[in-house]
Structure 1
Amino acid sequence: MVWSNTGPRAEQLPWHFGHDLARVGLDHRHLYEEVRQAVSPAPVVGISEVVWEGVQARGLDNRLKDLNWLSLHKCLPVRSIMYRHSLVQSPTCPRSSCGREETVRHVFWDCAFAGVVWARARVLLGLVRGDFVLTRLERGVGRARGTDRVRFLLWLLMSLFKRGQWEARQNMVKTGRDWGVEGIVRRVEGDLRGRMKREERKWGQHAARERWKGGLGLG
C-alpha cells in the first residue's frame, strides 16, 4: 500500500493488513475505509477553479484563507444559521438600520453597510487595476486578469475588506460598538502599510513600491 493524501494517516493500513482484513472484515478502520470509498463526497458545486485559486492564493495569510473558505462554503456563524439551531432569538442582521435576514452573502455583499464598504474598497482596487470590475458578488471577483502580482493584490484587498467586515460585525455583536466604514478602512490601510514596510526592509524601498503599485496612495 502506498501512503496517500486522500484521508488521515490513521485511517490507512499497511498493505499486508489489508488482505487479511478484507476477508474477515472485523477491523473498524478497514470497514470505515470501505464505506468512505463507496460513498465518496461530491465536489463542491458552484466554485470555479479560478475563484478557488484566488481565495487560496499563495501569499495570503492562513487566517485570510480560512475566512475565504468559510465564506465560500457558507460556514460562518451568521444569525440565519444560528437561529435555525435555536442559538439566537432572531435571524435578522444585527445592524439596527437593516432588519433583513443575516446570511453569509448578506454580511459581505447585500447589506447596505457592506455596499458602502465595497464602494471604498473599489478605490484601492482601481489603483491595482484600473479596469477591474467587481462582479459576481458572492464570489468576489470580476475581471481579475493581469500578472500574478496584480491578481494577488486584488485578492488580498478583497480578502482584507471581507475580514474587516466580519471582525466589525463580531465586535458589534459582542460589545455593541460599531467600527463604522471608516474603522474598517483604517484597519485595512494599516494592514497594507505594515505589509509594505516589511517588504521595504526585504527588497528596498524602490522595489517594494513597484510591487505595491506605488504604495496604493497610502504614503
Structure 2
Amino acid sequence: MDDVAVFCSDPLSVRRLMCICDQFERASGAKVNRGKNEAMLFGNWADQSSIPFTVRTDHLKVLGIWFGGAGACAKSWEERISKVRQKLGRWKLRSLSITGKNLVIRCEALSLLLYVSQVWPIPRTCAAAVTRATFQFIWRSKMDPVRRDSLYKDLGNGGKNTPNATLTLMATFVCGCIKLCQDPRYANTKCHYVLRFYLSPVLRRMGLASLPRNAPSSWTIPYHLSFVEKFLKKNTFDHKSIRKWSARSVLETLREKESADPVEWFPEQTVKAIWQNASSPERSNKHQNMAWLVVRRALPVRSFMHAQTLSRTTRCPRSGCGGDETVTHLLLECAYAEEVWRGMQWCLSRFVPSSAMTRDSVLYGLFPRTHTETNINCAWRIINLVKDALWAVRNLLIFQLKELTPTECCRLAHSKVQDYVLRDALKLGAAAAKARWGKTTV
C-alpha cells in the first residue's frame, strides 16, 4: 500500500483498520510505517488516544492536494505555482521564440496546475501569480510590450495563441462540477449528490441541467462552489451550444467571439491578410516574431522605450541621421536602411520588381496580386531576413559599439537565405527548391 486514504467513522473503525494492516504485515512480510501516517479528525472524537497516528489539526495532504481547514485551497495552489516558477526559470536560460515559449507553458506549466484545478478553484491572488509568471517568462521582463489579451487571440486575429492559463484552470473546475451533476455515469456517486445539493438551484436557473425539484437542495453555496456561478455569469455564452462540458469546448466557444485587432487604416479583410502574413508557417519562428512585433509596433526601438521611460532619447543611433528611431524609421526611412534595401534589390528582383517594394510590402507583406504566390512567398521571406539583419546590426551598434557597413549587413541577410533553401529542399525536394530559388543563393 502506498499513499492510501482511509475514512473511519469511530474508534472501532480505527481498530478494525489496524487489524487489517496487522494481517497484511503477517501475510506479506511488509510493515506499515505508522510514524509517517497522519490523521485528521472531523466532528466529535472524545477518545483520541485510540488513534495510533499523528493527528493533524491544520491541513492534510491526500494524493498531492491539501484538505482541511481554512487555507487548504490557497496552500495547494501556492505549492504548485512555486514548482511552475522553478520550471519556467530553467526554460528562461534557453533562447526560445514566443511559439516555443507557448509550448513550454502548455506542456510544463499547465500540466502541473490542471490536476489541482479538478479539486479546487484557483483563487484570485493565485490566478494573478500564474498570469504574472507566464508573461514574465514570455517577455523575460516585467514590462509587457503588447496587451495580454492580444496574445491570447488566434494567429489570424493578431494574437500568438498563448495559452490563457487562468481561464483554462477556471473552466476545468467549472466543467468538472457540471459534468458530475449532468453525466449519467456519476448518477449514483456521492460526488453527484453533494454537488447536486449545492448547485442544483444555480444550474436550473441557468438552464444547464434538468435536475429534480423534489430533491434536497441548498440555497447557500460554499465559497469554493460559488465560483461556478460567478464563472457562468462573467463569461456570457450560449450554454445550449456546448454539447460536451469540457474546458476545451468552453474555450473554443469563447474564442469564436474574438475579433481581429486593427492595423492602422486597413479594412478588416486586409487586416486578416496582414496577420496571416505575420504568422505564416512558411517562415521560421524567429522571423514570425519579428514580423508580428513590427506590425504591432512593439519592437523595442528607442521611441518605444522612451515612451516606457526606459530610454533617455528617441534619436536614431546612426551618426549623422538625427531622426526619431521608430519601427518605420529603422526599417525604411533611415539612410542606412535605404542603402541596405538597394544592396538587396538584386536578390529580390528575381521574385518581385522594385516597383512592388513599397512600405506596405516591407512592413505587412502586402504585394500586388499580379505576382505568383510562390514569388510573393520567397520575396516575403527575404524581406524578413533583411529586417532581422537590420535589427541585429542596430543592436550590435548600441550594445557592443560595433558598426557594420550596409554591404556587411546585406551579406548577413543573404547568408541566411540558405536556411530557407534547405527548408524547401526537405519539404519539396532538392530539384524543386533549386528551381524556386535559382541563383539567389549564389
Same fold (TM over 0.5): yes
Quote the residue 1:71 is aligned against. Answer: 294
1:44 aligns with 2:261: yes
1:27 aligns with 2:227: yes
Quote the residue 1:55 is aligned against. Answer: 278
1:142 aligns with 2:367: yes
Quote the residue 1:154 is aligned against. Answer: 379
Q: 1:125 aligns with which of 306, 328, 348?
A: 348
For residue 115 of structure 1, give the secondary structure of its aligned residue in structure 2: helix
1:191 aligns with 2:425: no
Quote the residue 1:10 is aligned against. Answer: 169
Q: Which runs of 5+ in 2 are unaligned?
A: 1-160, 182-198, 203-220, 238-253
Shift of 1:194: 4.1
Offset from partner CA, 1:152-187 (integer Å, 9 cap, x none): 101101111110111111111101111221122111
Between the two proteins, the alignment pairs up a number of residues equal to: 211
For residue 17 of structure 1, give the secondary structure of its aligned residue in structure 2: helix
Offset from partner CA, 1:107-148 (integer Å, 9 cap, x none): 111212111222223322211134761123443533255433
What is the alpha-carbon root mean square deviation over aligned residues? 3.4
1:52 alignment partner AA? W
Contact 2:277 2:364 in 1 (8 A): no
For residue 184 of structure 1, give the secondary structure of its aligned residue in structure 2: helix
Offset from partner CA, 1:10-29 (integer Å, 9 cap, x none): 24234353694994684299
107-116 or 71-80, which deviates more: 107-116
60-69 or 50-59, which deviates more: 50-59
How far apart, in 2, do the equivalents of 1:187 and 1:92 lie? 25
Q: 1:115 aligns with which of 335, 338, 341?
A: 338
Structure of greater relative contact order (alpha carbons < 8 Å, 6+ residues apart)? 1
Quote the residue 1:181 is aligned against. Answer: 406
How far apart, in 1, do the equivalents of 2:351 and 2:436 lie? 10
How far apart, in 2, do the equivalents of 1:31 and 1:82 lie? 37
How far apart, in 1, do the equivalents of 2:369 and 2:275 lie? 13
Quote the residue 2:315 is aligned against. Answer: 92
In structure 2, relative to structure 1, the CA distance for the partners of 1:88 and 1:201 (3 Å cut) is: closer
Contact 1:132 1:143 in 2 (8 A): no
- In the superposition, the TM-score normalised over structure 1's length comes to 0.79
How far apart, in 1, do the equivalents of 2:259 and 2:318 lie? 36
Contact 2:278 2:364 in 1 (8 A): no
How far apart, in 2, do the equivalents of 1:199 and 1:34 lie? 47
For residue 392 of structure 2, give the secondary structure of its aligned residue in structure 1: helix
1:215 alignment partner AA? K
Q: 2:439 aligns with which of 209, 215, 218?
A: 215
The higher radius of gyration belongs to 2
1:10 alignment partner AA? L
For residue 128 of structure 1, give the secondary structure of its aligned residue in structure 2: coil
In structure 2, relative to structure 1, the CA distance for the partners of 1:51 and 1:123 (3 Å cut) is: farther
Q: Which runs of 5+ in 1 are unaligned?
A: none
